Structure formats: C-alpha cells, structure tokens
Amino acid sequence: MAKAYEYPAHRLSPENTAILLVDHQTGLIVGVQDHDQNEVRRNAMALARAGKVFELPVVASTSAATGPNGPLLPELIAELPPGTPIVHRDGEVDAFDDPAFEKAVRKTGRSNLVIAGVITDVCLTFAALSAKAKGFGVHAVLDASGTTNVLARETSLIRMQDAGIVVNSTAGVLSELLHDWRTPGGPGTAEILGRYAIPFYGAVTAGHGAAMPSGAPR
C-alpha cells in the first residue's frame, strides 16, 4: 500500500498548491447522480475562487467540448482567476495524456495538486492517479466532483486511497490552505465558505452580524 499522507509535514499551503478542474462541463454535469448537482457546481466554483483568494495557479480542462460533453460551465469560467489556462482535449480520457495539460500543470511549479473532476471515476480518478505517479502530492476533492451512482464513487475512492491519494472536501481544502483566520485570506475564505462550500455558515455569520475572523470555524 502507498505511503500515507503526512500531516502537517506536507499540508497544503498557498505556496505549494495548484488547483486542477477537470471536465466540469454542461453535458457531463447532467450525469451526476451520486449527490446534488448544484453542490458540485458550487464547490467547483469555490475551488476556482480559492485561486483568487490565495493567489494559486489553476488549470482547467475540457473533453470534447464541441460534442455532447458541452463547454465548461459558464459560472465556473466566471470564477477562474484571470489568465487561467483551459486545455481543450480532443480525445484523451486521462487529462495527463494530453501533453498540453501536463505542460500547464508543471508550469505552475507546485508540488501539491488539488483535483476535482466530472465524472469522479474517470476524469478525477485517472488524473489523480497519473499525478500521483508523476510525483505530485494529490488531494481528490469528492464534493466538487460527481458521477453516475454511489457505487462508482465508492470504488473510485478505494482505488485512489490505495494509491496514496488524499481524499478531501472543499471546506477541508480551503481550511488547510488558510492555516489561520487572522491572515489576509481569512475574509475571502469566509466568503467562499458562506456563498458556496457551506452555505449555512453564511446565514450564521449574517444572523449574528459577525465580522471575520471572530467566530470563524476552526
């Protein structure tokens, strides 16, 4: 079995992390049945917004965007940091089989990759396995990904964990990147959590009239 993830020695940070968003497309999102499609949309948008808040490089990709898979979600495009490369693959199933995608990822210079994809058992799993094999630390974000049924998600989860990939959530990634609510990223993180990743928290802070970072989840 692959070596376990070592926390906090290799924790995510704004200095060592890039975000990869694979195939969040208008056609593919319709097939998400293992959990709420809108939750997948929101969490993908949250990861994209994190690129702005933490000044992280983001790489996005599509597969056969002019065919039935459809274009990248427009609401996701709106949240991508300026200059984000979007690699349009013509046939490669594993995003890392496209030289342009791998080149864009390596250009980030980051050792940790946070990856989300639709669908989970293909777009996310294959990219995560390839990234891990190429020496990256990999976090697979399940709630920003989705697939056709729960069994497909669970088999993918086992396969990725056996390869030493960290399975994570959007809120978990954001909190690990933040480290401390007193840093400049605190207000931006609170906004992402309240608007996208854990909407109840936006209602909580609004109801109390609280200013961040006091009262932030820890």
Contacts of residue 107, Cβ cutoff 8 Å, sequence gap at least 6: 57
| Residue 169, domain extent | 17-208
Say yes or no to pLDDT of 202 above 80.
Answer: no
7 falls within a domain: no
Q: How many domains does the chain have?
A: 1
Task: Report d(CA 208, CA 203) in Å as an integer.
Answer: 9
DSSP 98: S
- Residue 112 and residue 18 in contact, taking contact as beta carbons nearer than 8 Å: yes
Instruction: Identify the CATH number of the domain in which residue 31 sits.
Output: 3.40.50.850
Q: Which residues participate in catalysis according to the annotation?
A: 123
11 falls within a domain: no
Say yes or no to pLDDT of 214 above 60.
Answer: no
- pLDDT tens for 147-189 read 999 999 999 999 999 999 999 999 999 999 999 999 999 999 9
What average pLDDT score do residues 3-23 get?
89
Range of weakest confidence among 18-22, 45-49, 212-216: 212-216
- Residue 124 and residue 116 in contact, taking contact as beta carbons nearer than 8 Å: yes
Say yes or no to pLDDT of 2 above 90.
Answer: no
DSSP 25: B
What average pLDDT score do residues 100-126 get?
98
173 falls within a domain: yes
pLDDT band at 1 (very low <50, low <70, confident <90, very high): very low
Question: Cα Rg for the chain, rounded, in angstroms?
Answer: 16
- pLDDT tens for 25-41 read 999 999 999 999 999 99
Say yes or no to pLDDT of 217 above 60.
Answer: no
DSSP 3: P
- Residue 35 and residue 119 in contact, taking contact as beta carbons nearer than 8 Å: no
5 falls within a domain: no
Higher pLDDT, 154 or 210: 154
38 falls within a domain: yes
163 falls within a domain: yes
194 falls within a domain: yes
Whether pTM exceeds 0.75: yes
pLDDT band at 6 (very low <50, low <70, confident <90, very high): confident
What pLDDT is stored for residue 209 in this prediction?
Answer: 59
Q: What is the 3-state secondary structure (H, E, C) of 118-187?
A: ECHHHHHHHHHHHHHHCCCEEEEEHHHCECCCHHHHHHHHHHHHHCCCEEECHHHHHHHHHCCCCCCCHH
> Which of 2-6, 100-104, 184-188, 192-196 holds the top average pLDDT?
100-104
User: Which of 157, 143, 168, 173 lies closest to 58 in space, CA to CA?
Assistant: 173
199 falls within a domain: yes
Look-up of token digits 């990861």: 47
Strand partners, 168: 141
- Residue 178 and residue 186 in contact, taking contact as beta carbons nearer than 8 Å: yes
pLDDT band at 10 (very low <50, low <70, confident <90, very high): confident
